[in-house]
Amino acid sequence: MKKTILISAVLAATLMAGGVEFKQAPAAKRVMPEAGKILSYNEAIKDIKACVVNISAKKRVKQNIPPAFMDPFFRQFFNMPFGQAMPRERVQHSLGSGVIVTSDGYIVTNNHVVDNADEVHVTLPGSTKEYTAKVVGADPKTDIAVIKIEAKHLPAAVMGNSDRLKTGDLVFAIGNPFGVGESVSQGIVSALGKDSVGINQYENFIQTDAAINPGNSGGALVDSRGALIGINSAIITRSGANNGIGFAIPVNMVKRVATQLIEHGKVEYGFLGVNISDLTPDLQKVYKNKEGAVVLNVDKDTPARKAGLKRGDLIIKVDDTPIKDASDLKNAIGSIPPGREVEITFERNKRVQSVRVKLAKFPESRLSSSEKSGFVEGLSLQNLTDPMRRQMGIPEDIEGVMVTGVKPDTPADKAGFMPGDIIIQIEDTMIKSIGDIEKAMKKYPGDKRIYVNRRGIIKILVAR
């Protein structure tokens, strides 16, 4: 033992003699909480807990019954009396959470919690009384919805300011995980401004390691004061349970969207009319500014074209908001109502210029992750992204376009499409993006064969 200590001392002396210096932390004393006292955040989150509700949604889904099941011989073989009706629809139940934002009954939740629901019921904390809720409005682009119950003098959440959050801030996730009832989990803000997750069209997520599980969707993310800073939205997981990577929609975005849904029943987004990309390391060599969104194309008859923006411009600021990448620009423009004039600052040929642009309304015809496509009526589509592949366990060798939604009693529903299907081929055209679908639709008029990958099994559907 003495020999070992001697060698260590000689090594340390050698390091110091060689001029190697390490920054040493100052000595610290370990302490315990004051004797007889318990460290607790119960008082801080007591009020906000009363604002987080349980949501139960019911959706009636029609089933496509194979023709064989209607054959009398088939029914007799399986001992099914001829007069016995085959079930043509089933009821899907989903559980989630919501946050009361006004004392007269307006509640914010996720769009995916109440999407296409036939019935929505709300239970308040500490009560067994069930309220029937009305969906006031929903915005699939941000995954935010507002519902309302007929009640008064309800506790309403105190709003924080998500723009002032810092990585490392202590946070609590409150909701109804797995339908077990109200629960609170604690963690920190792991990251801010997460925008390439592949969940929503407009993304600016708060990432947290506070446990968020199925049923927590739509619940509250609060700071250590008990102020609402976000609405829990999603997790990245392979097992279906929490793995320490959860995402919440910042409360500042929630307030803006919820206000429009309550006042107008819908959300309108500003539209500039440019195709953009991030500033890659190679592109940084040809621009003076090292952050921004590069304009790849300027569409005809758009505010950008009228204002004189050109391909190759590097947009670095919208009004006073700095633009670091393409997602920043998309979120900045989308947060501004149509008709408002903004100042766009950009770099062109290494010179910084600015121009005033009056934003237009986002065209309904534009395909997006959650909008109705021009493919088959009732179908919502989304290009496959790497985050989606990781989240859903889709192998890299599978290419195509994912079906994210199928509205009941539409041509898409009757053709047999299901959410989660991956469209891989239309007639002889291989599908890798929504653009490929548009080309195939023009190429093959009338009824056409559509091949889908459904959980690893290839199926063929026919649609017009």
Question: In this structure, what DSSP letter does residue 209 have?
Answer: -
Structure tokens at 417: 């499409």
The answer to whether the beta carbons of residues 451 and 445 sit under 8 Å apart is no
Q: Which amino acid is at 32?
A: M
Structure tokens at 278: 């991030």
DSSP string computed for 419-441: TT-EEEEETTEE-SSHHHHHHHH
**Does the active-site annotation cover 143?**
yes
Pairing, β 293-298 against β 270-271: unpaired
The answer to whether the beta carbons of residues 344 and 318 sit under 8 Å apart is yes
C-alpha–C-alpha distance, residues 202 and 189, integer Å: 20
Question: Which phi and psi angles does 35 have, rounded to 5°?
Answer: -55, 135
CA 374 distance to own-chain centroid: 23
Of 22, 176, 165, the closest CA to residue 109 belongs to: 176
Residues 6+ apart with CB under 8 A from 129: 123
Of 433, 421, 411, 420, the closest CA to residue 460 belongs to: 421
CA dihedral 303, 198, 205, 110 (to 10 degrees): 100
DSSP string computed for 136-191: EEEETTTTEEEEE-S--S---PPB--GGG--TT-EEEEEE-GGGS--EEEEEEEEE
How many residues are present in the chain?
A: 464
**Does the active-site annotation cover 97?**
no
The answer to whether the beta carbons of residues 3 and 11 sit under 8 Å apart is no
**Which of 94, 162, 217, 327 is labelled catalytic?**
217
**Which of 56, 94, 97, 143 is labelled catalytic?**
143
Of 29, 51, 68, the closest CA to residue 182 belongs to: 51
C-alpha–C-alpha distance, residues 257 and 139, integer Å: 8
**Which of 56, 94, 97, 112 is labelled catalytic?**
112
Q: Which amino acid is at 296?
A: L
Max Cα-Cα span within the chain: 96
**Does the active-site annotation cover 217?**
yes
Catalytic residues: 112, 143, 217
